[in-house]
Amino acid sequence: MKIQLINPNTSADMTNTMAISARATALPSTQIIPSTPEHGPKSIECAFDEAIASAALLDLIEQGKQQNVDAHIIACFGDPALDAARELADAPVIGIAEAAFQMASLISYRFGVVTTLSRTLPASEHLLLKYGHQTHCCSVRATDIPVLALENIDNQAYQLLKTECLAAIEQDGAEAIVLGCAGMSNLVNQLSKELPIPIIDGVTAAVKLAESLHQLGLQTSKTGQYGKRISKPFIGRYAHWAS
């Protein structure tokens, strides 16, 4: 199968890192197609970044559709434009936060989320509410490590991340940890060795969910919420969406 792995921020280095994690996890028969937008913020850390990144992300979903991919992954922990992407796509579209929460809820009663900036905590909390996982999440903790600092994480930042994971376990009762950024996908193996509970990265979780849906022959339902978008004229920069 072909999985389009979309990094909605414009950091090509981050796309490469997550592609390595995705390929290491995927079945040998799965082709990972990494995809980075040409326009938009280098990292997505607030609602403004997310809104600007969303239009470019939807262009990439359309590109993936033309390439006949069997699944699209939105590899940003805010799951930006996930509902809109499902309106565009026929193949499944998986957001990494939703994927990680689903996996965590299968193997733990209470999981913790450890993410980047404190600024993004409400966004993660909103997603937990939206997806119905709030009762299974014991805490959402921030490290205040900027997303781009994860590209070449130094030992100090790594220890900060590990300290917050430990605090989630010892103080909040976390039985599993969800890593709250696509840029953390390369840290899951080391953290898993050093911490006593399961550590879940959304990128690899999304790859395995995409493969499962494909093997079961399941597509996005085009009835109701994820039905085709409503055709109408568009002008200016977005004229290519007119129909």
Binding residues for ligand 5HY, rule: CB under 6 A, are 9, 43-45, 76-78, 115-117, 120, 147, 181-183
Strands 31-35 and 71-74, how do they pair? unpaired
d(CA 48, CA 135): 28
One-letter amino acid of 147: V
d(CA 147, CA 236): 32
**In terms of CB distance, is 50 or 211 closer to ligand 5HY?**
50
Min dist CB 77 to ligand 5HY, Å, is 4
**In terms of CB distance, is 78 or 92 closer to ligand 5HY?**
78
Min dist CB 39 to ligand 5HY, Å, is 15
**In terms of CB distance, is 108 or 116 closer to ligand 5HY?**
116
The answer to whether the CB of 29 falls within 8 A of the CB of 2 is: no
Min dist CB 182 to ligand 5HY, Å, is 4
Min dist CB 8 to ligand 5HY, Å, is 7
Min dist CB 151 to ligand 5HY, Å, is 11
**In terms of CB distance, is 138 or 145 closer to ligand 5HY?**
145
**In terms of CB distance, is 64 or 78 closer to ligand 5HY?**
78
**In terms of CB distance, is 191 or 214 closer to ligand 5HY?**
191
DSSP 146-184: -GGGGTT--HHHHHHHHHHHHHHHHTT--SEEEEE-GGG
Q: Which two tokens stand for residue 215?
A: 């093997």
**In terms of CB distance, is 6 or 76 closer to ligand 5HY?**
76
Min dist CB 9 to ligand 5HY, Å, is 4
Give the Cα-Cα-Cα angle 180, 26, 84 (nearest 5 degrees): 55
Min dist CB 6 to ligand 5HY, Å, is 11
d(CA 150, CA 177): 18
The answer to whether the CB of 119 falls within 8 A of the CB of 46 is: yes
Q: SS3 sequence, 29-72?
A: CCEEEEECCCCCCCCCCCHHHHHHHHHHHHHHHHHHHHCCCCEE
